[in-house]
Amino acid sequence: MNSNVFLIIPVYNEKKEVLEKTVHELLKAGYSIVVIDDGSKEKIVFPNQSSVFVLRHSMNLGQGAALQTGIHFALDRGAQYIISFDADGQHSAADIPAMLLPLQNNSADITLASRFLKGGNHNASFLRKLVLNVGRYVNYIFTGLYLSDAHNGLRAMTPQSAKKLIIKENRMAHATEILFVIKKHQLKFLEVPTTVIYTEYSKRKGQSVFNSIRIFFDLILHKLFE
């Protein structure tokens, strides 16, 4: 039953029509949606949608904290599978079955989306590809996991693996922190080819080079004080 698949969508000052389109595509497949409003200026509501749960942080805590809130909620609701999904429209609902399949046949505890594997698709610029490629090596240095994609927000996990995710990095460094958890608990993982399509809107919402540098120093501090 798709209603036992919970999609966790962190939201901060997202454009209303973009968020509604993202949620609508997921609802058509019958998934349960958990929108975490991370202190947005305007209140988020989805009237007459019983499959959409809206949780709100009173202040902006960051995407890592929003994911943690959503994961706790989904676990409390008895989720069979939990998926993190970006709100800005760059991910495709059509990729979700492929993300779930390795979990369903017990070949993985967690799946990580990759736009760069054979079968994946993207329209990333040269500069973005360069930053993401550097991120792959940074991830490898800190976690020992050499992936084909860095900081892809689409992930699927079993509830057992989700319970092991205690995210301490509230902001964007949580993506690499999740890899720390995978390595520490020896979780079985697989990368799955997926689509990432950037629009002008999602480019504005995405990570800047400055934020990428900030993530690097966040990771150093995490490693020093873990």
Distances (CA, A) of 190 to 96, 98, 110, 141, 148: 14, 11, 7, 19, 11
* Residue-level pLDDT at 225: 46
| pTM for the predicted model, two decimal places | 0.88
* Residue-level pLDDT at 166: 84
pLDDT averaged over 10-residue windows placed end to end, the chain, 226 residues: 93 94 93 96 87 94 93 97 95 97 98 96 87 83 88 95 84 78 94 91 62 51 49
* Residue-level pLDDT at 219: 52
Q: Could you tell me if 177 and 78 are in contact, meaning their C-beta atoms sit under 8 angstroms apart?
A: no
2-225, superfamily in CATH?
Answer: Spore Coat Polysaccharide Biosynthesis Protein SpsA; Chain A (3.90.550.10)
* Residue-level pLDDT at 177: 85
* Residue-level pLDDT at 214: 53
